Structure formats: C-alpha cells, structure tokens
Chains A and B, each alone.
Chain A
Amino acid sequence: MSKRSVADLKIGEQATIQSFSDQLMSLKLLEMGCLPGAQICLTAKAPLGDPICLKVAGYCLAMRKSEAATILINS
C-alpha cells in the first residue's frame, strides 16, 4: 500500500509529517516550516478541492494538491 500524504487528509484532520518524496520541493517546504515530526492540519480547501490550506508551525500555508502529495505522513 502506498504511503499517505498530506493530499489525502480530510478537512480538520491532523497528522505528523514523516518524510518527503521530492527533494527539490522539500527544500521549499522545509524552509516554510514543514519539518519531519511537525504536526500538520488541513484547515480548508479551495473550490474544486485544489489548492489546499494547511495549518503548520503555527500559521496557515496554502499549496497545490500535487505539492502536498510530496509530504508523506504517519497514518
């Protein structure tokens, strides 16, 4: 079974970041505070379900679903 990612979260669901599946994307995400071990929560989705809004490191971060899919989580 493939690993779950942030893109699979439902609204209000919380998870812990485990690792990244894309190195270049991970550089941007790390800088924005998406660290392995950090709590991440899906707070809202744009109409059409993409991009999504996440609560991480105490603030709100928006990203595309494809980008969220590179953040793997503990389920």
Chain B
Amino acid sequence: MLKSSPTIALVGNPNAGKSSLFNELTGLRQKTGNFPGVTVDKKSGPWSIDSQTIATVVDLPGIYSIYPKSLDEQIVTDILANPAHPDYPDVAVVVVDASNLHRNLLLFTQIADLGVPVVLALNMLDVAHEEGKDVNAVRLAMLLNVPVVRINARKGDGLDHLKKAVIDQIEKPSVSGKLFFDPALEVADLITETKTQYQLDNNYLALQYVIQHDGFTFLNRQQQVGLDAIIDKHHFSEPTFQAGETISRYKHIGTIVDAVVTDRRPSGQTTWSQKLDRVLLHPVWGYAIFLFVLLLIFQAIFAWAQPFMDGIDSGVAWLNGQLKESLPAGPLTDLLTDGILAGIGGILVFIPQIAFLFLLVSLLEESGYMSRVMVIMDRIMRKFGLNGRSVVPLISGVACAVPAIMATRSIGTRRDRLITILVTPLMSCSARLPIYTILIALVVPSQRVLGFFNLQGLALMVLYLLGLISALLAAYVLKLFLHSKERSFFIMELPTFKLPRWNHVGLTVWESVRAFVWEAGRVILAISIVLWVLASYGPGDAMDQAETRVRQQNATLPAQDLQNRIASERLESSYAGQFGHFIEPVIRPLGYDWKIGIALLSSFAAREVFVGTMSTIYSIGDGADDEGVTIRDRLRQERNPNTGGPMYTPALAWSLLIFYVFAMMCMSTLAATQRETKSWKWPALQLVYMMGLAYVAAFATYQFLK
C-alpha cells in the first residue's frame, strides 16, 4: 500500500536535465512557491505514479556537491539532512548526465550516503554516445547497488521505467547499508560522539552536522554551539577533511566509471562547441556579438512589442468607452472606468514587453550563450565590484527589477550579490518607459539627425545609458564601503550549446507574465482606486465651497471656461490636491507644481502609476468632456500660472525624466530587496541613496536648463 501523497525530490548537477525531467513529469500543472522559511523559489507539481497515488515532485536547485556554494544551493542540504522537513522526500531521483559521469556521480554518492532512498536517472545517453562514450546502465546499477533507470528527459523516454523504480523504492525503501565514503573510518570518535549526542544513526549525516551546522536552519543555537564544542574537542579540520572526502570519492568513482563506460572517442578532437566558443569569446567578435544580441533585445522590447501594446491600449480604451455609454453616469461608473479599468489597462499594456524580454533571456540561457556572456563580462564587472553573474540581473532589470533581484541568488559571493541587488533598480525598467515616452514626445522634436537616427529614439537611449552608467558607478562606490572577508569567486561550468526547448521557454514566459500581472497588478490597482477617491473627494465641503467661489468671481466667463476653472479648483481643494500643495515647497526647486506633486506621491509605491495619475489629474481638472484628447495634448495645453507660458518646458520635462531615471519609486522592489537580504537596512539604504541621487540630479538639470 502506497503512502497517500509521497514526495519525490529531483536532485542533480546544473545542466544535467533536471528541469527537463521536471517539466516532462508535471507539465503545466507545476507551481512556483517558496520553501518554508526561506525565499528560494520552490517548483513543485503533481505526478500520478499509479491509479490511486499522486506524488508531489519537488525540483531542487542544481548543485555540484552537498556542500553549498550559494544561497540557492543551501536549501538542498537543509532539506536532505533533515527528515523532519515538510519537503523531505520519500524518494530522491538523482538526475545524472551520462556524458559527464565522474562529476555527476560525486553528488550522487553523497546523496545516497545521507540515507535518502534514491533512484538514479541516467540522462543524456545520446549526448554521451555522440561523444563516443557508451554507459552500461545494468553494470552501473550493480556496482552502485541502487536502481538505475535510463531516461531521455528532453524526449520524455523512459518515464514508465522511472515510475516503476520510484514505486518500488516507496513500497520497499532499499538504502544501501554500505557508505561510498564512511567518515567513521578516519574520525571514528568524532562521528560516534556526534551520533550519540544528536540521536543520529547515519555516519555521513553526522559528518554533515559537524561540517555544515552553521547553515542548517533546523538546528537551534544551542545545538550549533554544541557541535562547535565537539569540533574543538577532536581538533577536527573541516577543509582538510572535506578535500580528503572529495578525492576519496573521485577515486572510488574512477574505478566504477572505468568499469561501466566504453570510450571509443578519438582523443584531442575539438568539438563544434569549442569552435563556437573561439568566436563567442573572441576579443573583438565576442563583444560585437554580445552588443548585437543586446540591440536585438532592445529592438524587441521597444519596436516589436509596440503593435501589441497599441492593441491592448485601444482594446482597453474601447471597453472603457463602451462601459461609459452603457452604464448610468455616476460616481460608481467613474470609479469603474477612470479608476479600476484605467488601472488594469496600465498593467496589461506592459505584458508584451515583459514577455519579449523573458522570451529572449530564456532563449539565451537555454542555448548556453548566457554563460559565455558572463565570462566575457566578468573582468569588466569585477572593476565595479560586481561579478560576471551580475549580467543577467542587470539585463533583466530592463524589464522589471523584482525578478532581476531574485535572479541574483546564483551569485555565490555575498558582497557581489548585495551590490548587484542594490544597483539593479537603477537600470531603467519597463515601468519607466511610458513616462519616458510621453515626456520625450512632449519636448524632443521627432526629426532625423545624420539622416538615420531619430532624435526621440536617441533621447530614449541616452536615458537608458544613464541608468546603466549610474548603476555601474553606484556599484563602484558601494565597493569602496562594503568590505568583506569572503573572497569573490567565479568558477562556472560552460555547458555545451544546445537547441532551446520550446516548451521550457514557453513556461518561463508564461510564469513571468503571470507573476507580473498578479503581483504588480494588485498594487497598481489598489493605488489607482485610492487615488481616484482622493482626487474626487475633499475634506468637509471644501470642494463645494471652491466651486461656489469660482462661480461668484467669474460669473461673466463663457460656460466652457467656467467649467474648466471649476473642475480645476475642485481638484485643488480635494484631498489629493491638498497633499500636492503640502509637498510643493520641497519639489519647487525641481520645477514641479502641486499637480506633479500628486503624481509623484501616488507613483511613490509604483512608478508605473505616474502616467495614469497624470491622466486622472488632468482629466478631472479639465472638466470638459473631450473624448479623444490624449494625455500628451493635455500636458501640452497646460499653462504655467506664473509665467503664462507652457507648463511643460524642456527644463521641467528633463528634470522629471532625470528624476525618474534615478528615483526609487517601487514598493515591490524594496520588498524584494528586503526579502532577499533579510534586513531592512539594505532597502532603506537603497531608498535613501536613489532618492537623494534623483533629487540632486533633477535639481541640477532644472536649474541648468531653466
């Protein structure tokens, strides 16, 4: 009889085909969550292994050994060393890349030694065969004394055999009693004492307690101190022992591999992957190709996404018009159309950009090109206190800083990771794009320079470059202040080039779009509604008084102008208007008035709200029923009450643009920073330094251009 819902964990080296297998087993039913207590992404999904039993498959982060090198990797040991963990597996399926058996078996023997019932899924036999190596799975199973199943995760072959092996392991768990590496042979006293004191019966698990106890979240402070005492008592040197363990394991593995692999490979032949590397890592071509790929990404985000964005925009506008016509006029209809629907439209319009970005980034990762980019960028990034691995977060930052900050987990060094997190929000994310677009269109003429470049496009590029340069400079400054005893390192496998798996890419895109709409969407929607209420109501009867006053003073004005004046005065005396007036003294030096103040305040939580707020303010403040007038026209018509000239002068527009390049106006990003650094100190620093930068830079811009 099977347990009602067994847990199956997928473990394996990065690039061994673990994710392919996971997608093959769970497909679209998979979901992303968090492991309890930590913020490492947990992917899990159902897998029906027989007619009554649905197992939960958990995809653990890829690791090279049981000793973690980064935050992401820590979770694997934390689960596998703790049978009380809710995600502790009934069976661990270790995915092994047959074309690199030595290194993959290192991890396998460690997992098996922990006492977890294992099944070895031998993957990528086709790749090994192409390289001239054939693996005898039957002999491997005999020598390792564990079930071995031949699979092809990309094609989905061998899954029935895998299922059977897993069921067998659940029904009659067979754990080989003999360890591949038994620490008790060398440090018997230490192991015995640890086992007695912590009620363990596995020698290798006891060793993990000794070596890794600082990283084990399931041990309390007292237990950790107790293990320190045992280490001192036995004069145990962890690094020496760990090095000895690895060498001893590899020696054992060497004899096994010699017995199961027939190698008929002519030695010294260069593979096409290596030939490709010579071009991609070439001093000139390497950078040229990377630059071209970057241009392609930008082209996709800005040009290819445009028709889709326009489509969504007009779709929402059409729906808005339909609702306004068919519903009775009143505050509820206004809330639904100007408040809620406008807010939802503001979110949906970003979907094409986010989808294109993640499509291209995941294509680059799937093919193996992204690791080459990390290699060619490492030297440059290092100068600024970053790491080759910081490239992916920085590029993703162009779409949204939240997934970008989550992508920093693969950076093993704490300081490099922290600096990357702190500067990533300076990359101009897609939420800034609508602000850039509107303001640039307002003050930069659409004309060609040098016969080729569009002046507006050039201005846009300048803003993006400004974001990138300031991110690098900020990293450089942070490097001077953040000291770390830990050494920065960059040791990385370069996977062979592969054709991308389209279902894999599709899933990534779907997941990121869903997360964006759901996570960011809720915030934006809430703010749009609150703002609409604040702009439509005022304290007491202040708004009605304002209206009466205007009517009395301007009785001779034509009806149209009177309506405008009334609407504008009403807005000014609403809650939102009073907020705006309250902060006006602070933002006056930057050239902003109280209306921009409202937009700044409301976009404080999420900068994508800015454009929506501007259209709310200027349409509420407009009074007249002017369908078809765009927000850009409204801004252009806006007059400066002091000078009588246009409100949106180049000085003001550039001051706003520069402000938004630097300003930290995104609650979700701050929350992500807080989650990832587990401290309020870093999001606070991020907020202060970016806001300070924004204020000073916008002030300088306005005063200089005025």
Cβ of A44 and Cβ of B388 under 8 Å apart? no
Q: Residues of A contacting B329 with CB < 8 Å?
A: none
User: How far apart sit A35 and B79, CA to CA, in the bound complex (Å)?
Assistant: 29
Please count how many residues in chain A sit with their CB below 8 Å of the partner chain's CB atoms.
32
Q: Which residue of B lies closest to A59 (CB)?
A: B100
Instruction: Tell me if B596 is interfacial: C-beta within 8 Å of chain A.
Output: no
Segment among B64-72, B453-461, B580-588, B695-703 that sits at the interface with chain A = B64-72
Q: Which residue of A lies closest to B128 (CB)?
A: A58
Q: A22-62, CB under 8 A of B: which get 1 and which 0?
A: 01111111111101100000011111101101010111111
Cβ of B490 and Cβ of A61 under 8 Å apart? no
Q: Which residue of B lies closest to A45 (CB)?
A: B281
Residue of B64, B102, B246, B273 near A58 (CB, 8 A) is B102
Q: Which residue of B lies closest to A28 (CB)?
A: B491
Cβ of B388 and Cβ of A51 under 8 Å apart? yes
Cβ of B493 and Cβ of A60 under 8 Å apart? yes
Q: Residues of A contacting B493 with CB < 8 Å?
A: 32, 59-62
User: How far apart sit A29 and B250, CA to CA, in the bound complex (Å)?
Assistant: 13
Cβ of B378 and Cβ of A60 under 8 Å apart? no
Cβ of B490 and Cβ of A64 under 8 Å apart? yes
Q: Residues of B contacting A25 with CB < 8 Å?
A: 487, 489
Cβ of A47 and Cβ of B281 under 8 Å apart? yes
Q: Quote the shortest CB–CB distance from B272 to chain A (angstroms).
A: 13
Cβ of B64 and Cβ of A46 under 8 Å apart? no
Q: Residues of A contacting B573 with CB < 8 Å?
A: none
Cβ of A62 and Cβ of B250 under 8 Å apart? no
Q: Residues of A contacting B69 with CB < 8 Å?
A: 28
Most B C-beta atoms less than 10 A away, residue of A26, A29, A50, A59: A59
Q: Quote the shortest CB–CB distance from A59 to chain B (angstroms).
A: 5
Cβ of A23 and Cβ of B243 under 8 Å apart? yes
Q: Quote the shortest CB–CB distance from A35 to chain B (angstroms).
A: 5
Q: How many A-B residue pairs have CB under 8 A?
A: 113
User: How far apart sit A61 and B102, CA to CA, in the bound complex (Å)?
Assistant: 14
User: How far apart sit A36 and B248, CA to CA, in the bound complex (Å)?
Assistant: 12
Q: B364-401, CB under 8 A of A: which get 1 and which 0?
A: 00000001001110111010000010000000000000
Q: Residues of A contacting B494 with CB < 8 Å?
A: 53, 59-62
Contact residues of B between 149 and 189, Cβ < 8 Å to A = none
Given that A46-B376, A58-B100, A62-B490 are contacting pairs, would A30 and B246 also be in contact in the complex, using a CB cutoff of 8 Å? yes
Q: A1-40, CB under 8 A of B: which get 1 and which 0?
A: 0000000000000000000000111111111110110000
Please report whether the interface of chain A is mostly helix, strand, loop or mixed according to DSSP.
Answer: mixed
Residue of B250, B283, B491, B492 near A48 (CB, 8 A) is B283
Q: Residues of A contacting B492 with CB < 8 Å?
A: 61-63
Q: Quote the shortest CB–CB distance from A56 to chain B (angstroms).
A: 10
Q: Which residue of A lies closest to B368 (CB)?
A: A60
Cβ of B375 and Cβ of A46 under 8 Å apart? yes
Please count how many residues in chain B sit with their CB below 8 Å of the partner chain's CB atoms.
43
Cβ of B103 and Cβ of A57 under 8 Å apart? yes
Please report whether the interface of chain B is mostly helix, strand, loop or mixed according to DSSP.
Answer: helix
Q: Residues of A contacting B106 with CB < 8 Å?
A: 31, 33
Instruction: Tell me if B298 is interfacial: C-beta within 8 Å of chain A.
Output: no
User: How far apart sit A47 and B65, CA to CA, in the bound complex (Å)?
Assistant: 30
Q: Residues of B contacting A33 with CB < 8 Å?
A: 102-103, 106, 250
Q: Which residue of A lies closest to B245 (CB)?
A: A30
Cβ of B490 and Cβ of A27 under 8 Å apart? no
Residue of A24, A27, A43 near B274 (CB, 8 A) is A43
Q: Residues of B contacting A28 with CB < 8 Å?
A: 69, 489, 491
User: How far apart sit A26 and B247, CA to CA, in the bound complex (Å)?
Assistant: 11
Q: Which residue of B lies closest to A63 (CB)?
A: B491
Instruction: Tell me if B556 is interfacial: C-beta within 8 Å of chain A.
Output: no
Most B C-beta atoms less than 10 A away, residue of A26, A27, A43, A46: A46
Q: Which residue of A lies closest to B377 (CB)?
A: A46
Q: Residues of A contacting B282 with CB < 8 Å?
A: 47
User: How far apart sit A40 and B282, CA to CA, in the bound complex (Å)?
Assistant: 21
Instruction: Tell me if B194 is interfacial: C-beta within 8 Å of chain A.
Output: no
Instruction: Tell me if B196 is interfacial: C-beta within 8 Å of chain A.
Output: no
User: How far apart sit A23 and B237, CA to CA, in the bound complex (Å)?
Assistant: 11
Cβ of A26 and Cβ of B281 under 8 Å apart? no
Cβ of B490 and Cβ of A47 under 8 Å apart? no
Given that A23-B243, A27-B242 are contacting pairs, would A46 and B281 also be in contact in the complex, using a CB cutoff of 8 Å? yes
Cβ of B243 and Cβ of A36 under 8 Å apart? no
Q: Which residue of B lies closest to A56 (CB)?
A: B103
Cβ of B490 and Cβ of A63 under 8 Å apart? yes
Given that A23-B239, A53-B281 are contacting pairs, would A64 and B64 also be in contact in the complex, using a CB cutoff of 8 Å? no
Cβ of A32 and Cβ of B64 under 8 Å apart? yes
Q: Residues of A contacting B247 with CB < 8 Å?
A: 30, 35-36
Q: B48-69, CB under 8 A of A: which get 1 and which 0?
A: 0000000000000000110101
Cβ of A57 and Cβ of B491 under 8 Å apart? no
Instruction: Tell me if B277 is interfacial: C-beta within 8 Å of chain A.
Output: yes
Q: Quote the shortest CB–CB distance from A58 to chain B (angstroms).
A: 6
Given that A23-B239, A30-B247, A46-B378 are contacting pairs, would A60 and B64 also be in contact in the complex, using a CB cutoff of 8 Å? no
Q: Residues of B contacting A58 with CB < 8 Å?
A: 99-100, 102
Cβ of B371 and Cβ of A62 under 8 Å apart? yes
A-B residue pairs in contact (CB < 8 Å), sample of 25: A23-B240, A27-B243, A31-B106, A32-B491, A33-B102, A44-B274, A44-B281, A46-B286, A46-B376, A47-B281, A47-B286, A48-B283, A48-B380, A51-B379, A51-B490, A53-B375, A55-B274, A57-B103, A59-B103, A60-B494, A60-B496, A61-B491, A62-B375, A62-B493, A64-B491
> Can you add 11 more A-B contacts, CB < 8 Å, to A43-B277, A59-B100, A60-B273?
A27-B246, A33-B250, A35-B247, A35-B250, A44-B278, A46-B286, A51-B378, A58-B100, A61-B493, A62-B374, A64-B490
> Which 9 residue pairs spanning A and B have beta carbons closest together?
A47-B283, A60-B494, A30-B246, A31-B65, A63-B491, A33-B103, A48-B379, A44-B281, A62-B375
